């Protein structure tokens, strides 16, 4: 990709924002604020979100999920039927178009359960595991944390349907393992934390939390086992056990819920077992905040010059900045492209300083600069954004070196 053909614009100055992630992502041209908690995702963010989604999708497929896209518009009657409309906390977060009696999807337990009534008749039709990537809408009262708390945000949600508690439990534990793998692949150190079921279930749920000073959650953790408890359930802990845990701030990047038969019973989703008896379907739901993840990564990976996203989620893996009039920069750019490196050529008609500052701000994991000085020795400069390490490399070794750094 050539930067002259890629829609993006960094900002030199910007007013302070509520959050570090919004400030950095907006300054670097990833996002553009529309209103509090509402953002447009610009091409740089779209590339990062797609990479996050790809990792999540691969793991959800490996878990046995089938991808769907359900409607964001949902009849209000759906929520009345499950009884959730009576829940004041739930009703407060749902956007409603009163004229059409339609709501904007805040979550999808009900629509998924309704849909399965058509396809699940006998035990042979179970389990069913469906997931989607979707924009969710919630009236968040304190939308002051950039992508961490959107009123409109991207979520991966998965719903599982099982013949009994035991098979649900087994899947639930597999899902928890898969979640930890997803976060590890994204470069995040996640803790599995017991929390309340919120507006979803009366049981405990499991949250996946990433320690971060600016996080909105407070959790008590054991660093050895990478487990812990959300502050909201701390009154259920014994004082002696509590003393062994450390209290830290964190961001909830995922949440999984054992739903039991709450929703299947509300919609009479039943199946016939091997003896021909009607049985309740056991359910679970499993969310990951896709856009919150981008915000989390921005909160954690940065310095005074800008973003330092890990290469598996950065919009591009490398940038080539050619400060000479020779064609060498072009050649390196096309060689890298040919080898499958996601490289951008900064071919804009801009000052060298601007290109270098932008490279740090956007945070390309690898910056290659070809200048008159490096050209003298037949070399090119490679700077790793993560560590700040700078090396001079022979032109013929560039591709190999970049590939090695990215592997």
User: Under a CB-based contact definition with an 8 Å cutoff, are residues 210 and 300 in contact?
Assistant: yes
Of the candidates 256, 249, 280, the one whose C-alpha atom is nearest the C-alpha of residue 267 is 280
Q: Alpha carbon of 222 to those of 209, 244, 260, 316: distances in Å?
A: 12, 7, 28, 36
Q: Does 107 bind Mg ion (CB under 5 A)?
A: no
Bond from prior residue into 78 cis (ω within 30 degrees of 0): no
Residues of span 91-110 touching ligand ATP by CB under 6 A: 107
Q: Which of the residues 277 through 296 are near ligand ATP (CB under 6 A)?
A: 287, 289, 291-292
* 355 part of the interface to ligand ATP, by CB under 6 A: no
Q: Which of 75, 197, 198, 386 binds ligand ATP (CB under 6 A)?
A: 198
Element (H, E) at 379: strand 379-384
Taking CB under 6 A as the binding criterion, the range among 95-103, 175-183, 235-243, 253-261 that sits at the site for ligand ATP is: 253-261
**Binding residue for ligand ATP, selected from 112, 155, 188, 313, defined by CB under 6 A:** 155
**Residue placing its CB nearer to ligand ATP in the complex, 153 or 316:** 153
Site string for Mg ion, 219-258 (x = CB under 5 A): ------------------------------------x---
Query: Does 183 engage in binding with ligand ATP (CB under 6 A)?
Result: no
Stretch that binds ligand ATP, among 9-17, 75-83, 251-259, 348-356 (CB under 6 A): 251-259
Which of residues 107 and 178 has its CB atom nearest to ligand ATP in the complex? 107
**Measured from the CB atom, is 182 or 380 closer to ligand ATP?**
182
Q: 18 exposed, middle or buried (CB, 10 Å; 0-12, 13-18, 19+)?
A: middle
Q: In whole angstroms, what is the distance from residue 115 CA to residue 145 CA? A: 35
Closest distance of CB 158 from Mg ion, Å? 14
Check: CB of residue 187 under 8 Å from CB of residue 313: yes
Do β-strands 66-67 and 128-137 pair in parallel, antiparallel, or remain unpaired? parallel
Distance CA 264, CA 262 (A): 6
In this complex, which beta carbon is closest to ligand ATP, that of residue 138 or of residue 355? 138
Structure letter (DSSP) for residue 2 = B
Residue nearest to Mg ion (CB): 255
Which among Mg ion, ligand ATP, none contacts residue 114 (Cβ within 5 to 8 A by kind)? none
- Cβ neighbours of 310 (radius 10 Å): 18
# residues near ligand ATP by CB under 6 A: 16
- Helix pair angle (43-62, 165-185), 10° resolution: 140
Using CB under 6 A as the binding rule, whether residue 149 contacts ligand ATP is answered as yes
> Percentages helix, strand, coil for the chain, rounded to the nearest 5?
35, 30, 35
153 binds, among Mg ion, ligand ATP, none (CB under 5 to 8 A by kind): ligand ATP
When CB distances are held under 5 to 8 angstroms depending on the partner's kind, the choice from Mg ion, ligand ATP, none that residue 292 binds is ligand ATP
User: Is residue 138 near ligand ATP by the rule CB under 6 A?
Assistant: yes
Render 5-46 in DSSP notation, one character per residue. GS-----S-----SSHHHHHHHHTTSEEEEETTEEEEPHHHH
**Binding region for ligand ATP (CB under 6 A) out of 38-46, 68-76, 147-155, 314-322:** 147-155
3-class state of residue 58 by DSSP: helix
Sole binder of ligand ATP in the list 65, 150, 228, 363 (CB under 6 A): 150
Ranges assigned E (strand) in 201-350? 205-211, 217-222, 227-230, 246-260, 270-272, 278-280, 282-289, 302-303, 306-307, 318-322, 343-345
Shortest Å distance, C-beta 232 to ligand ATP:
9
State the binding partner of 149 from Mg ion, ligand ATP, none, CB within 5 to 8 A by kind: ligand ATP
Closest separation in Å from C-beta 291 to ligand ATP: 6
How many whole angstroms separate alpha carbon 199 and alpha carbon 182? Answer: 25
| Binding region for ligand ATP (CB under 6 A) | 107, 138, 140, 149-150, 153, 155, 198, 252-255, 287, 289, 291-292
Point out which residues bind Mg ion (CB under 5 A): 255
């Amino acid at each position: 990709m050539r930067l002259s053909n890629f829609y993006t614009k960094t900002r030199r100055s910007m007013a302070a924002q509520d959050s570090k992630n919004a400030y950095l992502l907006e300054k670097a041209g990833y996002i553009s604020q529309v209103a509090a908690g509402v953002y447009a995702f610009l091409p740089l963010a779209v590339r990062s979100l797609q990479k996050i989604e790809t990792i999540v999708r691969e793991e959800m497929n490996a878990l046995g999920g089938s991808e769907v896209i359900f409607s964001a518009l949902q009849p209000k009657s759906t929520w009345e039927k499950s009884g959730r409309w009576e829940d004041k906390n739930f009703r407060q977060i749902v956007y409603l178009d009163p004229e059409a009696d339609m709501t904007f999807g805040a979550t999808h337990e009900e629509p998924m359960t309704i849909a399965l009534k058509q396809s699940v008749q006998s035990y042979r039709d179970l389990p069913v595991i469906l997931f989607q990537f979707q924009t969710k809408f919630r009236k968040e009262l304190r939308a002051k944390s950039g992508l961490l708390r959107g009123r409109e945000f991207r979520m991966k949600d998965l719903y599982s349907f099982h013949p009994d508690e035991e098979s649900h439990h087994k899947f639930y534990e597999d899902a928890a393992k898969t979640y930890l793998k997803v976060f590890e692949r994204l470069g995040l150190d996640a803790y599995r934390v017991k929390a309340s079921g919120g507006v979803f279930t009366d049981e405990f749920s499991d949250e996946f939390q990433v320690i971060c000073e600016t996080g909105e959650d407070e959790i008590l953790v054991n660093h050895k086992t990478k487990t812990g408890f959300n502050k909201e359930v701390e009154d259920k802990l014994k004082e002696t056990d509590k003393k062994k845990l450390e209290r830290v701030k964190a961001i909830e990047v995922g949440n999984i819920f054992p739903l039991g038969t709450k929703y299947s019973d509300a919609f009479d989703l039943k199946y016939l077992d091997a003896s021909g008896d009607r049985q309740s379907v056991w359910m679970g739901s499993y969310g990951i905040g896709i856009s919150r993840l981008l915000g989390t990564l921005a909160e954690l990976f940065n310095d005074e010059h800008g973003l330092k996203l890990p290469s598996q989620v950065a919009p591009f893996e490398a940038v080539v900045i050619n400060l000479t009039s020779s064609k060498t920069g072009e050649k390196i750019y096309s060689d890298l492209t040919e080898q499958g490196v996601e490289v951008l050529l900064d071919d804009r008609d801009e000052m060298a300083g601007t290109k270098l500052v932008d490279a740090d701000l956007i945070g390309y994991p690898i910056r290659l600069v070809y200048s008159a000085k490096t050209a003298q020795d037949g070399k090119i400069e490679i700077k790793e954004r993560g560590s700040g390490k700078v090396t001079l490399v022979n032109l013929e070794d560039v591709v190999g070196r970049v590939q090695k750094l990215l592997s």
